[in-house]
């Protein structure tokens, strides 16, 4: 009986030892992967929140797949986009998002809802400046995604709105996607019935508009 109990203790000790060795091996293997992981944060509105399209067809999901296909699997994409979001809402949410996710690159895709609601360009610009400064202060790189609004808002307002994005890009030395809906907004088959949101067929074009600006920041 004592021999049996002694054998059990011995086997238990051996198992604990083996588990410890396995744990250490896994830890040493996992550390480089975790240490090498980087985060890409997308802070946008319905254009980036898969509004009206299946989530698997949305441009942010296509971006995740593009990263895998291009050997950039060390990048994870956090999509913090909300339908109806404004620059004010984005500016308020951003500090917590930066602290929680510690991103290396932040895509700021906001302003469209502000423009459609006729918000003063100065207010929109101020909110975006706040976001860009917060991103840069965190050590991350910012990408501004330019937007335009329909001409029925008047030539003066539409021009002032469109000028916000390149002006901020120049002032704060950020990357810029000139116009997010380029090649989409004037194609009926690529736009939903509301004339604002791209269809599932338009999502790949959104990615193509972003990718040439984003890719150099990932390498």
**Alpha carbons 142 and 107: distance in angstroms, whole number:** 6
Task: State what percent of residues in the chain have pLDDT above 90.
Answer: 83
114 and 144 in a single domain? The answer is yes
118 and 129 in a single domain? The answer is yes
- Beta strand pairing call for 105-109 and 141-145: parallel
16 and 42 in a single domain? The answer is no
pLDDT of residue 15: 38
The sign of the CA dihedral 67, 143, 54, 192 is negative
- Please enumerate in sequence order all residues whose Cβ is within 8 A of that of 152, keeping only pairs 6 or more positions apart, or say none: none
- Average of pLDDT values for 74-84? 98
Per-residue pLDDT tens over the stretch 31-58: 333 558 999 999 999 999 999 999 999 9
For residue 117, pLDDT beyond 70: yes
91 and 32 in a single domain? The answer is no
At residue 106, the 3 state secondary structure works out as strand
Dihedrals phi, psi of 156, to nearest 5 degrees: -65, -45
**Alpha carbons 84 and 93: distance in angstroms, whole number:** 14
47 and 153 in a single domain? The answer is yes
Per-residue pLDDT tens over the stretch 128-151: 999 999 999 999 999 999 999 999
82 and 26 in a single domain? The answer is no
Domain enclosing residue 111, as ranges = 38-218
The sign of the CA dihedral 150, 43, 137, 139 is negative
Model pTM? 0.84
**Alpha carbons 202 and 212: distance in angstroms, whole number:** 17
pLDDT of residue 35: 59
- Structure-token match 């620059």, residue found: 87
Q: Which of the four pLDDT bands, split at 50, 70 and 90, describes residue 195?
A: very high
| Average pLDDT value for the chain | 88
- Please enumerate in sequence order all residues whose Cβ is within 8 A of that of 117, keeping only pairs 6 or more positions apart, or say none: 86
Lookup: tokens for 3: 């021999």
pLDDT of residue 21: 33
- Please enumerate in sequence order all residues whose Cβ is within 8 A of that of 76, keeping only pairs 6 or more positions apart, or say none: 37, 38, 39, 40
Look up the CATH number of the domain holding residue 195.
3.40.50.1110
71 and 118 in a single domain? The answer is yes
51 and 151 in a single domain? The answer is yes
Which are the catalytic amino acids? 46, 194, 197
Count the domains in the chain: 2
């Amino acid at each position: 009986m004592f021999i049996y109990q002694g054998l059990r203790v011995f086997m238990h000790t051996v198992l604990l030892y083996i588990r410890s060795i396995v744990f250490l091996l896994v830890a040493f293997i996992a550390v480089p992967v975790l240490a090498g992981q980087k985060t890409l944060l997308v802070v946008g509105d319905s254009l980036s929140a898969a509004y009206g399209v299946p989530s698997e067809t949305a441009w942010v999901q296509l971006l995740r797949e593009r990263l895998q296909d291009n050997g950039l699997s060390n990048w994870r994409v956090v999509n913090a986009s909300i339908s109806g979001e404004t620059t004010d809402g984005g500016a308020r949410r951003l500090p917590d998002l930066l602290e929680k996710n510690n991103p290396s690159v932040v895509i700021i895709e906001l302003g469209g809802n502000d423009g459609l609601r006729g918000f003063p360009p100065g207010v929109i610009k101020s909110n975006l400046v706040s976001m860009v400064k917060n991103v840069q202060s965190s050590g991350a790189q910012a990408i501004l995604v330019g937007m335009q609004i329909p001409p029925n808002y008047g030539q003066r307002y539409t021009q002032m709105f469109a000028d916000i994005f390149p002006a901020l890009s120049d002032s704060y030395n950020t990357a810029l996607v000139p116009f997010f809906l380029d090649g989409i907004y004037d194609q009926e088959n690529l736009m939903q019935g509301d004339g604002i949101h791209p269809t599932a067929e338009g999502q790949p074009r959104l990615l193509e508009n972003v990718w040439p600006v984003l890719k150099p920041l990932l390498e």
